[in-house]
Amino acid sequence: MSTTAASLKALHHLYLRLHDVNRKLEQGPKRIKLKEEFALQQEEKLRSFQEQVTQLKKQVQQKNLDLQSNETKILDLKAKLNTASSNKEFDIIKGQIKADEMANSVLEDEILELMDKIDAAEADVQLWVEKKDAAHQAAKEAAQNFESARDSLDEEIKECNAAIADAEHIIPENVKVQFERLVRSHGAGALAIVEGKYCSSCNVLISPQLRVELNSGKLVFCKSCGRLLYLEESQE
């Protein structure tokens, strides 16, 4: 590989490395935010199951009150049986007692069914408590990991920028403005390798004349996309 091609390849790899580090710095807070939002979603789901348990318990409480009220009513009706003034009144009271006992039987079945629902809902609550705690722990760990890595990433950026400044000495003054414009627009994509006979950035065929210039070690920009081109050793 020619000196020029080797230098451009090294420069390209430095820009790619810098892009990767910057991407990690940029994505770190985004990942943390996503995990925090996910944890809040788990909290919301937990609250919905907790509210479900609360409502079910309120229903049980109300039905127990109705059951107690009916039991009191039945006792009063049974007491009235002894004071019934006629067979007709006795039969009426007896029918009321039977109806209230039937209502209590239904209430007891409904209470048992609600208790089963409460058990299932409370199991769901415990499951979502665990999910919520796990989600918050994952968000906390993501934040801690990012903070631990931030200093090393910042240091790596400094190293990359210093190495890039040194490697860019290969860029002549007469094309430096053009190259800097490319870097501002495309970052690591300011340079492109020639793959076979094509620019790897735009996939346009490199002319024979440009190929000759590349082989001679000249700096060549793609006529289609403007990227600074370089050859791999196997292509020279």
Neighbours of 54 (CB within 10 A): 12
Q: Is 188 helix (H, G, I), strand (E, B) or coil?
A: helix
Amino acid 2: pLDDT: 65
Q: Is 227 helix (H, G, I), strand (E, B) or coil?
A: coil
pLDDT digits (tens, 9 = 90+) for 221-230: 999 999 999 9
Determine phi and psi for 202, rounding to 5 degrees. -110, -5
Residue for token pair 């040194």? 166
Amino acid 234: pLDDT: 53
CB-based contact 175:168 (threshold 8 Å): no
- DSSP code at position 65: H
Domains of the chain: 20-168 (1.10.287.1490), 171-236 (no CATH)
CB-based contact 193:57 (threshold 8 Å): no
Query: pLDDT below 70 — which residues of the chain?
Result: 1-2, 233-236
Amino acid 82: pLDDT: 82
Amino acid 85: pLDDT: 83
Residue for token pair 């409460």? 118
pLDDT digits (tens, 9 = 90+) for 10-56: 999 999 999 999 999 999 999 999 999 999 999 999 999 999 999 99
Amino acid 81: pLDDT: 85
Residue for token pair 């039991």? 71
d(CA 115, CA 53): 10
